[in-house]
Structures are given as C-alpha cells and as structure tokens.
Chains A and B, each alone.
Chain A
Amino acid sequence: MEHGTWLTGSLIYLAAAVIAVPLARLLGLGSIIGYLVAGIAIGPWGLALVTDPQQILNFAEFGVVLMLFLVGLELEPQRLWALRKPIFGWGSVQLLGSAALLFGAAALAGVAWPLALVAALGLAMSSTAIGLSVLAERNLMATTSGQSVLSVMLLQDVAAIPTLALLPLLAAADVHASSSAWLGAAKPLAVIAAIVLGGRLLLRPALRWIANSRTPEIFTAASLLLVVATAALMHAVGLSMALGAFLAGVLLAESEYRRELETDIEPFKGLLLGLFFIAVGMAIDFAVVLDSPLVIATVVFGFLLVKAVVLWAMARLMPLPPLEWPAFIILLAQGGEFGFVVFQSAAGAGIISKPISSLLVAAVAISMLLTPLLLVAAARWWVPRLANGRSSQIAEISEAQTAPVIVAGFGRYGQVVSRMLYANGITPTVLDHDAEQIEALRKFGWRVFYGDATRLDLLRTAGAASARVLVLAIDDVEQSLKVATLAREHFPNLAIVARARNVQHYFKLRELGITLVERETLDSSLMSARSVLGLLGWEPHHARTLAMRFRRHTVRQLEEMLPHARDEARFIAMARQGRQQLEELFAQERQSAQRARREGWSDKPPADS
C-alpha cells in the first residue's frame, strides 16, 4: 500500500471487491473469479493502485487459516477419525502420484533434478482456499467428492511440513542438517500435543468463563485470539498455520460454543478470503507471462493435465459418482497457494532462480484463475455429457416437470412424505443434490432429480410455477430457509409444507408466512412418551389422548411465542411459563379425576346415567 494509510488501502480493496464480485456473479461465474479479476485490475499490471501484492498476500493468507478452523468446527473428532483412510490413503496417492509424474515429466524434458523436484512438489498442491470455497458455494461439502477433496487437501497441509523441511537439504546438500532435523521434529510434535491437550482440557472452561462475561465483542475477540494463537504457535515451530487452526476447530466441534464461534469467525473469514483472492490476482506477474507465454502455457496445461490424469484414476478407483468427477478433478488439479510458499522459499534458498520462481508462481496463479472458469465450462459441457453417458438417470433436472407436488430434499423425511404420497397415487417431483444418494434411490425405482433446490431456475424447471404444493424436507436449516424465501417470493401460489429442524427454524419458517410447519422430532418423541406412559401402567388410549393434548398445547404455545421469537429474555420467560401452565393443567385434571373417583376412557368424565 504505497499511500501508507490503511484507509486508502481499504478503500481500494473494498471498492474493487464490491464492484467486481456482484458483476462476476451476475455473469454466472462465481465470486472467486470476481475477486481474482478485481485483484488483476487493481494490481501492478492493471491500474497499479497497489504495487506490493506480496505483503497483502501474507496478511490475507490468514483467511485460509480461518476457513480451515471453520471446516474443523464442522468435523467432530470421530468423523475426522473415520476420514483417516481417505486422508492418508487417497491423499498420499494424489500428492505422491502427481509429484512423481510431474517430476518424471520435467526430468524427461531436460530440467535439472532439484528444480524438477521443487516444481513437482509445489505444483502437486491444490488451492484449499478455492477448493473449499467452491465446495461451500455449491453446497457440495457433504457429498462424497466434497469429503474426498477435503481429505486430500488436509493431507497436503500435513505434507507441507516435510516439503518445506526438504528445501534446505536440497539447497546445500548439507549432511549434518539431519541431526538438527530430529530436534526439529520433536518441537512440532510437542506443539501438536499441546494443542490437542489444551484444546480438550482448557479451551472449554476458558470459553465458558469468557461467555459468562456477557460481552459479545469480547467473545468475538476470544474466537479470533484462539485461531491467531494456534496459528502463531504452529508457525513458530514451522508447521502449517492452517493445519493448527483446523485441529483447534476439530477439538471445539463438540463444544457448546460451536455455533457462536462459527458465526463470529465467519465474516472475518469471508472478507479475508476475498482479500486473499484479490492478492492472488495481483500476484500474477504479467511481465513473466508476456515474456514467455509459450513456456507458461506449457507449464500450466502440462501440470493440470498430469494431475488430472492421477485424479481421474483416483475417481475411477474410489469410486466416485461420475457426476461428481468434474468438481473433484478440477478442484484438485489446480495449483495452490502453498505452491507460492514453496517456490519463494526455494528461490530464497537458491535452489531455483528468481525468474523461474516467478514463472512457477504465475503458472499456479493462472491455474487458480482458470479453475472457476473450468468449473463453469464443465458444468456447461462436461456434466451433461457425463449425464448422457453411463449414468443418464442423474442428469441435473432439465426437462420441465408438471407434477402437482415437489419434494425438495429426499433424506429420511422427504422419503416418508413421498412414499405416503406415492401410495396414494401421487408421484411427486423429487429434488436432491446428493448424487450418490440419488444413484442409490434410483435403484429402488424412485424418480429423483439431481438439482439444488436453492436455485431458482431448477425450482422453475421442477414445476414450481404450476405445482400446488412444495414439500420442504431439506435438513440444512439455511438452505431450507433459502428455498422457502425463494418460493414465497417467486411462486406465491405454491403452498409450502415444511420440515423444521428445531424451534428456531420453526420460527423462521413461520416468519416467512409458512403455516404448515412440523418440527421433525416432535411426533416421534410423543409416540415414545406414550409408550413410556403405557409401560408405567397408563391405559394406551389415555396415553394417546395425553400425548395429543400435550402436542396441541406446545404447538399453541409456540404460536403465542412467535411474535417474541427475537426477544430472547421474553422468549425464555414465556417458555418457562408455558411449561408451568401445562403442568398445572394436567395436575388439575388429575385432581378432578380423582375427586370424581373415576377415570373412564377419556379425561373429562363422560356422562353415563
């Protein structure tokens, strides 16, 4: 920032992002391209508003750290443990396979071996920032390919440590470095152990203590401090900051503060990631590109192709659902920000020359710029071809549907709804976005379409304009609300029957004007409560009536609380009061029943004279 004031800098970055990102989204290119183009525009080769991209790149890399912390928060230790095979197995296959092939190709092309090795290792990495952002933006995180991409990227983060440690060895062929390498390995291990133990034992009480201070901004500060401190600790011993943040996230995934941490960190992550992409755009050295365009093109397409071959083989062997191949291959084939670090360190250590280093950095940056474009292209040309081929059934929904009912989300909830409809001669149009799930269901003869219901065009194709009922059975709260909002706005005549994950979700759906909302566990829990009463000696029919009246009471109570849903204190007071009312009501009835000395089959004594 040559103007020396953070104000001008912020002005430039924010303005560039605010102009470029909506434009890119409008063109259907996704926000990442917007950021990258904004970076090119304000960088040294565009308007030259910013001339030192490196500095801002280092700062913005922290966005990647925050992102991995958030990814970790979503991944409980058990789930991470379950991922150990994909991480170490498939992750190693990708990294070592790609690196070996790249090294071989470079060596064959006559490149000196230290350079070939550094380039191979640096180019084998993939951009976590772009990969995970794309997965989140397209809502693919929970799919098989999403998990595979995450696994491979986690291994790359782990592998970053030995890769960087290798560089000095390559540089000087100093043999006595090995003795200190052992010492060097002890420190990182100690730090990781400290993070794991500290995270388990200290973090939760500390967070509780901070939360009890009831100062929201201090909790936000603590959240950030937590990530910064972990990252700093890892950095101090030469480990990947992102990996440390990820670990901290995993350790807190089960804590009661998970949601709060998430909402606090999320905006910082978004902005810093944006800044990071801008910085990547700025970092593309167009002088190098223009100097030797052919060499750059060969390097970019060569390494993309080699990695794609490895990934394609992996996708076949894993196996991944064919429709998820494009995202898997394209996201992992691109170069990554870690490549920048490798090449710069290698240049610093004198293994490769400065021009070669900038050339490789430019190649990686270009591949990152190409990735979103490739994804758009793949969605247009590759995915339809895949869909027409072997697995013609799971094409994204493309033909207009006319069924009177649309079921969005075909998990456990949507399936029961659909089966009941089907049993009564109604075949709904079913939308789900998990290709694997769809493939499995197709085997049972269900007509399920592949499509993200949060997209207006797909809702329209599914027949939202002419259908009478939309069953909103999506389990993800945010997506459910997104679809609900879309449907209310664009298809006012479409009645919505919604599944609510919890009370907050219930209220939000009600606030959108949806009246037919069911809390997903209420009825099954009440059935269990009936069984308990039955086992304790209540007559079955009496237990049923009690359960149904309990249900009526809670539903009414919720409706009464609806206007106060945003007023937490009032809300809690009303909930408490409501519970008391119900207890009193039931106690009163028990009493009057006892007084009448009869408990017939109903709660109010019937007339029999």
Chain B
Amino acid sequence: MADVLVLAAHPHLASSRVNRALTLAATALGERHVETRDLYELYPDYLIDIDAEQAALSRARLVVWQHPIHWYSMPALMKLWVDEVLAFGWAYGPGGTALKGKDLWLAASTGGPEDSYRPQSYNRYFFDAFLPPYEQTAMLCGMRFVPPLLLHGAHRVSDADLARHAEIYTSRLLSYPHWPELVELDAAQPCDVPAEARPDDD
C-alpha cells in the first residue's frame, strides 16, 4: 500500500525538462510505493473528480506537490485542485480532519536562477518569501509542511545535475517516513476555524 501520493502538475509536460524527468521518475517507482497522479493528464478539461482525489489523499501519509513555480505560485490546475479538493468540513473547519497528521512536501522548480531571488535582483524577494501560502494551507488542514525540495534555474540545468536532482527526489520518496528532518519537525499547530467564522455572501 503506497503511502506516498505525488500530485504532479505541469500544463505542458512535453516541453518541460525538470518536471517531466521528475514525473517519469516518480511513476517508475511503481504504484506499490508511490501513487503518482498527473493532474493535467487526468483532468485536461479542468473537471476535477473531487471524490477520487479525496480518496487518494485519504490513502496517503505524505502528499507531494510537484510543479513548476508559475508567477510565484502554483499552476492553475493545481490551484483549482486546492480550491475544490481541500473542501470545508473535509480538509478544514468543523469536522474537517481528513488530512490531519499527514505531511505535505513541495517539490518545485523555478525558471529563474537562485540568485534572482535576492532583494537586489529582479525577483526582489528570497524564495522563502513565497512559501507562506503553502505553509499555511498545510497548517490549516493539520498537516506538517516539510521543507521543500527546490531546483532553481530549471531552463539551464545540466543533464547531470538534473539526473542528480531526480535521484535525490526518488530516494526521498522511497525513504519516507525515515527522513532526519521529520524528527525535529513539530506537529502542525491546531488552526480551528469556528463554524460561525464562515463569511456570509449576502
């Protein structure tokens, strides 16, 4: 029974180097160890099967979001997945405990090189500055946000470096939950949303 779920999202996987390599590597590990769901392949019409996605989440202990960073965030379908699958009363809010105690790991790539994420450079912020939405999403669902695996400068990375990166990725997927950093990671802070906190439309 696989307890690692990889959610891969790249709108043009065929023209991607990094994410194609990672998706292929994750898929090659086999369903028994890692369940890989390529969101753009599953939902070309953006019609996400919420029940199927929630079922896959329920089976997993580690949830991996593997995607390129687009506009300092996730690709559109990944965001839609978050909007629809992490539903109120299921993933968070009253009775929303389905994901509690699971781990969320981000495996992202950026086009810009690491030194572009500097106050002096064109991206103006350290990359960490873009992570709080991820971290808090995990936290609200009672998940631990494990420090992400990043690959910067994806367009210019050499074949050897890419192979090394994929190797790290798969070995991590296979060795979960025996990761050294997990020992020091605290359980997620409880973020209880009171029932009356739901905003009112009218």
Give me the interface of A with B, judged by CB distance under 8 Å.
Answer: 545, 548-549, 552, 596-599, 602-609
Pick from A552, A604, A607: contact of B47, CB below 8 A.
A552
The chain A residue with its CB closest to the CB of B201 is A598
Q: Considering the complex, give the chain B residue whose CB is closest to the CB of A551.
A: B47
B87 proximity list for chain A (CB < 8 A): 604-605, 607
A-B contact pairs, 21 of them (CB 8 A): A545-B47, A548-B45, A548-B47, A549-B47, A596-B88, A596-B198, A597-B198, A597-B201, A597-B202, A602-B80, A603-B84, A604-B83, A605-B88, A606-B83, A607-B91, A607-B92, A607-B137, A607-B140, A608-B199, A609-B140, A609-B193
- Which residues does chain B contribute within 8 Å of A608, judged by CB atoms? 199
Once A548-B45, A609-B140 are accepted as A-B contacts, the answer to whether A604 and B201 lie under 8 Å apart by CB is no
Contacts of A605 in B (CB 8 A): 87-88
Contact (A604, B84) CB under 8 Å given A548-B45, A609-B140, A609-B193: yes
- How far is the CB of A300 from the nearest CB of chain B, in Å? 65
Taking CB atoms and an 8 Å cut-off, the chain B residues in 172-188 that contact chain A are none
Number of A-B residue pairs, CB cutoff 8 Å, is 43
For the residues of A in contact with B, the DSSP-based class is loop
B199 touches A602 (CB 8 A): no
Q: Which residues of A contact B198 (CB under 8 A)?
A: 596-598
- A598–B198 alpha-carbon span in the complex (Å): 9
Contact B200 A597 (CB under 8 A): yes
CA–CA, A598 to B82, complex, Å?
18
Residues of A close to B193: CB separation below 8 A: 609
Q: Let me know if B2 is at the binding interface, CB within 8 A.
A: no
Query: CB distance A599 to B201 under 8 Å?
Result: yes
Q: How many chain B residues touch A (Cβ–Cβ < 8 Å)?
A: 22
**Distance of A502 Cα from B15 Cα, bound (Å):** 39
Residues of chain B at the chain A interface (Cβ within 8 Å): 45, 47, 49-50, 80, 82-84, 86-88, 91-92, 137, 140, 193, 197-202
CA–CA, A608 and B50, complex, Å: 18
The smallest C-beta distance from B20 to any residue of chain A, in angstroms, reads 22
Which A residue's beta carbon lies closest to that of B140?
A609
Are A604 and B50 neighbours in the complex by a CB distance under 8 Å? yes
User: Could you list 16 further interchain pairs (A-B, Cβ under 8 angstroms) beyond the known A596-B88, A604-B50, A607-B87?
Assistant: A548-B47, A552-B47, A597-B198, A597-B200, A597-B201, A598-B198, A602-B80, A604-B83, A604-B84, A604-B87, A607-B82, A607-B86, A607-B88, A607-B92, A607-B140, A608-B199
Contacts of A596 in B (CB 8 A): 88, 198
A605 to chain B, nearest CB (A): 5
How far is A419 from B91 in the complex, measured between Cα atoms in Å?
Answer: 45
Alpha-carbon separation in the docked complex, A201 to B47 (Å): 51
Find chain A residues with CB under 8 A from B50 CB. 604
Q: Which residues of A contact B199 (CB under 8 A)?
A: 598, 608
B200 contacts A602, C-beta separation under 8 Å? no
Q: Which residue, B47, B49, B82, has most C-beta atoms of chain A within 10 A?
A: B47
Quote the shortest CB–CB distance from B86 to chain A (angstroms): 6
Complex alpha-carbon distance, A604 and B80, angstroms? 11
List of A residues within 8 angstroms of B49 by Cβ:
552
Nearest 3 A/B pairs, CB to CB: A606-B83, A598-B201, A548-B47
CA distance A596 to B197 in the complex (A): 11
- Given contacts A548-B45, A607-B140, A602 and B84 within 8 Å (CB-CB): yes
Docked complex Cα distance between A549 and B51 (Å):
12
Q: Which of A598, A603, A606, A609 contacts B200 (CB 8 A)?
A: A598
Q: Please, which residues of chain A bring their CB within 8 A of the CB of B84?
A: 602-604, 606
> A384 to chain B: closest CB distance in Å?
46
Residues of A within 8 A of B201 (CB): 597-599
Cα A598 to Cα B137 in complex, Å, equals: 21
A192 to B123, alpha carbons, bound, how many Å? 89
In the complex, what residue of chain B is closest to A601 when comparing beta carbons? B83
* B residues less than 8 Å from A597 (CB atoms): 198, 200-202
B198 to chain A, nearest CB (A): 7
CB contacts (< 8 Å) of A609 on chain B: these are 92, 140, 193, 197
List residues of chain A with CB within 8 A of the CB of B88: 596, 605, 607
A608 to B200, CA, bound (A): 12
The residue on A at minimum CB distance from B85 is A604
Q: How distant is A123 from chain B, measured CB to nearest CB, in Å? A: 65
Min C-beta distance of B144 to chain A, whole Å? 18
User: Chain B residue with minimal CB distance to A606?
Assistant: B83
- In the complex, chain B residues whose CB is within 8 Å of the CB of A606: 83-84
Least CB separation from B141: chain A residue: A607
Q: Which residues of B contact A549 (CB under 8 A)?
A: 47
**Chain B nearest Cβ from A127, distance in angstroms:** 55
Give Cα A604 to B92, complex, Å: 13
B197 contact set on A, CB distance < 8 A: 609
Pair A607/B83 contact, Cβ less than 8 Å: yes
- How long is the Cα–Cα vector from A553 to B88 in the complex, in angstroms? 24
Partner of A602, one of B45, B83, B92: B83
- The residue among A603, A606, A607, A609 with the most chain B CB atoms within 10 A of its own CB is A607
Instruction: Give bound CA distance, A603 to B50, whole Å.
Output: 11
Bound CA span A436–B125, Å? 67
Tell me the minimal C-beta distance from A431 to chain B in angstroms.
29
Nearest to B191 among chain A residues (CB) is: A609
The interface residues of chain B lying within 8 Å CB-to-CB of A599 are 201
Query: Which B residues are CB-close (under 8 A) to A548?
Result: 45, 47
Q: Smallest distance from the beta carbon of B96 to chain A beta carbons, Å?
A: 9
Cα A12 to Cα B53 in complex, Å, equals 68
CA of A608 to CA of B84, assembled, Å: 12
**Complex alpha-carbon distance, A603 and B83, angstroms:** 10
